[in-house]
Structure 1
Amino acid sequence: MPAMLDDPDAPTIYRTSGAAPFPDPQDAQPFLPVDVYPRQVTLRDRVTVATIVPFSSRHQVPPSLLSYLSDQLNKEIEMGDTYPMIETMPMEKFGSYWFQNFGAVMLLGNIESADEVTEGKNWATQCLGSFYIKPNYPGRSSHICNAGFLVTDAVRNKGVGRLMGETYLDWAPRLGYTYSVFNLVYETNVASCRIWDALGFKRIGRVKGAGNLKSYPGQLVDAIVYGRDLGPESTDTVSEERFDKIAFYLRYGKYPAGADRAEKSRLRSAATHYKLLENDKLMLKDKEVISDPQKQYEIARNVHVHQHGGINKTTATIAEKYHWVRIKETVSLVIRNCTECKELGKAP
């Protein structure tokens, strides 16, 4: 799920604008902010526990793990559909590129410190994904960041990308960034687009014919430019993971693995507003809660094709029966992708 556009051979850009303190380019192993520490998460099955571990330098990462992640990125590059690079990257180059400012790795199990990530592991079974954070621009605009994401082979469609995206939104402002830009997300990369749409990113631009991709010979694919303010989310935002945790709590009468005291309190409070039917449908009052972004999109598309109504009409129709966060944004995406609406000039 790439979201980047930068030159792997370019010199490292350090954040020099925004709030102090700033990174020291001379420090080979800089300290992380005290509120950026390993984050325990639960996968979509609500049972498997993993930890997203932050690293301030490639020197903290075991060489065998760097080698595994390098191989995973090279496979993605060779597939030719998500990253813009053509040439693969040797491990030495990968380490200095991916972890030059800040990187994180998602590993199975409960990990309390980066010091616990050592050699002797089978990373093909232990490593679920990785992402980096770095300035998108130099100098006076270096408080605006960019990121790149990598989900490993064994854990596709298990919610790993979404969990890393949520963690990115939590950690990036703690690292001093105030706004995020993803320069190049090919519109054919539907999984990535759905994640960023669901996490509140705005489509701030489109690059026509940006990608000569392997799976689309003879045509150039457009790319989306995403942007989002960083900082506290609005109070009405409930993530896909949050809905699933509420359902788990109502179904089993116990907290999901990895829940802390604050989350347990939120779940007890939510239980007074939601109910779980016998067919495992989560309901908020008389509306079915839809947590899966793909199902949200399918519902919106099915409602829209019946009448090809505009954003407000389609949103109102959906809201009579269903509930999820940002229904209107899902509808807007459906209408933008509607061939008939494009032909009639009705697409937003």
Structure 2
Amino acid sequence: MKIRKAIASDIDQVWEIFTKVIKTGDTYVFHPDTPKSDLEKYWFAPYMNTYVIEENGIIFGTYIIKPNQIDLGNHIANCSYMVSPKAQGKGIGKKLCEHSLQIAKEKDFEGIQFNIVVSTNKAAIALWEKNGFTIIGTTPRAFRHAKLGLVDTYIMYKDLKI
């Protein structure tokens, strides 16, 4: 498998992953019925870099990396990751995270901040913690989980300069 920058012809496969991940309503803030026409602004906007992990032309996961804030806050990155439900449990999220850490360092980001990690997403939290991220804050009842109702979210951070 290789990780590379996404290109225009990847949009349909990325959409397939995106729509399956958000449809569950348990990990991302995007409405489960988000239309494909919104994918560009959420995953392919000009101010972000989009990557895919693929093998033999089949995309198994994707992530974005962008400045967390504008101007005086643009030295901290923000990332979002999605793995195809068919490929979960195969280490793809780990590979995407490791790649994003490398890219963030190459782009001279001083850290990476995840603004909203759903507290019930134990697999993601464990993966981020294994990669050196720590929970630096909790926002009470900040996510409308499809099955559990209002649940907390975490802000997670990794310093890239230490």
Q: TM-score, normalised by structure 2?
A: 0.90
The percentage of aligned residue pairs carrying the same residue is 28
Higher RCO (CA-CA < 8 Å; seq separation 6+):
2
Alignment of 1:49-128 (within 5 A): 50-55=1-6, 60-62=7-9, 65-86=10-31, 88-100=33-45, 101-108=48-55, 121=57, 126-128=58-60
Task: Judge conservation of contact 1:162–1:195 (CA < 8 Å) in 2.
Answer: yes
Residue 75 (structure 1) shift:
2.2
In the other structure, the counterpart of 1:221 is 151
Q: Would you say the 8 A contact 1:104–1:131 is kept in 2?
A: yes
Counterpart mapping for 1:1-348 below 5 A:
50-55=1-6, 60-62=7-9, 65-86=10-31, 88-100=33-45, 101-108=48-55, 121=57, 126-217=58-149, 220-231=150-161
Q: Residue in 2 aligned with 1:299?
A: none
User: In structure 2, the residue corresponding to 1:93 is in which secondary structure?
Assistant: helix
Q: Aligned-residue CA RMSD in angstroms?
A: 1.7
Shift of 1:196: 0.7
| Separation in 1, partners of 2:119, 2:35 | 28
Distance 2:62 2:30 in 1: 18
Q: Secondary structure at the match of 1:103?
A: strand
Q: Residue 212 of structure 1: SS of its match in structure 2?
A: strand
Provide Cα deviations, 1:56-89, integer angstroms capped at 9, x if missing partner: xxxx331xx3122113212222211001122533
CA displacement at 1:130 relative to structure 2? 0.3
Q: Which of the pair has more CA radius of gyration?
A: 1
More strand as a share of residues:
2
Taking the aligned partners of 1:189 and 1:158, their CA distance within structure 2 comes to 17
Pair 1:53–1:97, CA change in 2 (3 A): same
Q: Contact 2:20/2:84 (CA < 8 Å) preserved in 1?
A: no
Secondary structure class of the residue paired with 2:79:
strand
Give the CA deviation at 1:211. 1.4
The answer to whether the 8 Å contact 2:20/2:85 transfers is: no
1:77-120 CA distance string (max 9 Å, x none): 221100112253333431343122201100015xxxxxxxxxxx
Measure the CA separation in 2 of the matches of 1:167 and 1:231: 17
SS of the counterpart of 2:28? coil
Matches of 1:71 and 1:107, distance apart in 2: 14
Answer yes or no: is the 8 Å Cα contact 1:70–1:90 preserved in 2: no
For the 8 Å contact 1:53–1:104, the answer to whether it is kept is yes
Separation in 1 of the partners of 2:71 and 2:39?
24
One-letter amino acid matched to 1:143: H
